[in-house]
């Protein structure tokens, strides 16, 4: 399945371009994290946090490719830090949401009956909550900062994954290989995690690719509203500060940050679509 999918994906030029873009962003995220860790370890203020009021509001130049912001900090290096934050949010919220969703989806689909009823009740309760407001409420209760964001997004987005996985498991449960495994007397846990899960892993991967940009987008919102990231250069905070500057004619910070958000989200969206097409040939006509 994976070999075929890869061949199909390779033929899709847009998808390969997106893959390259995602790889580039990933490198930037790793680089940003390393820079952050280095300064944290040495306990010095990194250059992207130092203020140089004499260098404030410089348009893009050879020294500062993307100009400087209102406190004279280099926009580009702050942008790279923003990639790190975005990746952290995308990955950590996935680490919260996907295991919960997959676990509940698997047991509900496989065992049916009371277990299914319970899981369906649980996710329909969560699904009833008004999206952004609920995330905001969780973030408010947990407290401002990244933890609130992780929990807020993570605890609300498992529902979709759960529903999807549950449907897939129900589909697979009636297939012969599962019935054969049951006839052989394998334990339920083994059947679910060793036999069914690998067969629906593509669903999980596609979901990951498609929920990543959504999580990044939500983080930008929350940080923008001042509920998310507090003292690190997050894209939301950058947009917030750039918004006011825009009215004074400082276009660069706004432009580059929104461009970065757009490219990251677009690349993941298109890649997710292409992955789904490549992994799920039924949809290809």
**Interface residue list for another protein (CB under 8 A):** 121-122, 124-130, 132-134, 136-138, 140-142, 213, 217, 220-221, 224-227, 236, 239, 243, 246-247, 254, 258, 261-262, 265-266, 269-270, 273, 285
What is the closest distance, in whole angstroms, from the C-beta atom of residue 113 to another protein in the complex?
16
For 28, 44, 135, 167, the CA distances from 239, given in Å and listed in that order, are: 19, 26, 20, 39
Query: Positive or negative, the Cα torsion across 46, 51, 57, 62?
Result: negative
Nearer to another protein, 190 or 243 (CB): 243
The smaller minimum CB distance to another protein, of residues 46 and 272, is found at 272
Q: What minimum distance in Å lies between the beta carbon of 148 and another protein? A: 11
CB of 31 vs another protein, minimal distance in Å: 23
- Whichever of 68 and 218 has its CB closer to another protein, that residue is 218
Q: Where are the alpha helices (DSSP H) in the chain?
A: 2-11, 13-42, 75-111, 113-128, 131-142, 146-173, 176-183, 188-190, 197-225, 235-246, 252-279
Per DSSP, the three-state class of 27 is: helix
Nearer to another protein, 109 or 217 (CB): 217
Q: How far is the CB of 188 from another protein (least distance, A)?
A: 26
**Side-chain-facing half-sphere of 137: CA atoms under 13 Å:** 8
């Amino acid at each position: 399945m994976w070999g075929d999918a890869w061949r199909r994906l390779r033929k899709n030029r847009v998808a390969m371009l997106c893959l390259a873009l995602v790889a580039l962003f990933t490198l930037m995220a790793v680089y940003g994290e390393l820079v952050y860790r280095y300064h944290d370890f040495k306990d010095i203020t990194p250059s992207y946090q130092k203020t140089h009021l004499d260098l404030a509001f410089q348009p893009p130049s050879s020294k500062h490719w993307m100009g400087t912001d209102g406190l004279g900090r280099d926009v580009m290096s702050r942008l790279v830090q923003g990639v790190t934050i975005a990746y952290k949010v995308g990955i950590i919220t996935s680490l919260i949401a996907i295991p919960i969703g997959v676990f509940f989806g698997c047991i509900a689909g496989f065992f049916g009956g009371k277990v299914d009823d319970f899981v369906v009740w649980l996710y329909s309760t969560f699904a009833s909550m008004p999206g952004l407001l609920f995330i905001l409420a969780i973030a408010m209760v947990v407290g401002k900062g990244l933890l609130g964001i992780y929990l807020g997004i993570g605890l609300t987005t498992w529902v979709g994954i759960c529903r999807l996985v549950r449907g897939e498991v129900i589909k697979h449960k009636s297939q012969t290989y599962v019935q054969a495994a049951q006839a052989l007397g394998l334990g339920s846990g083994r059947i679910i995690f060793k036999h069914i899960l690998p067969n629906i892993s593509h669903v999980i991967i596609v979901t990951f690719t498609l929920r990543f940009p959504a999580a990044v987008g939500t983080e930008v919102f929350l940080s923008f509203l001042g509920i998310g990231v507090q003292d690190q250069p997050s894209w939301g905070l950058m947009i917030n500060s750039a918004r006011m500057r825009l009215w004074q004619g400082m276009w660069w910070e706004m432009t580059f940050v929104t461009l970065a958000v757009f490219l990251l989200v677009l690349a993941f969206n298109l890649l997710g679509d292409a992955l789904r097409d490549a992994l799920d040939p039924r949809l290809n006509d």
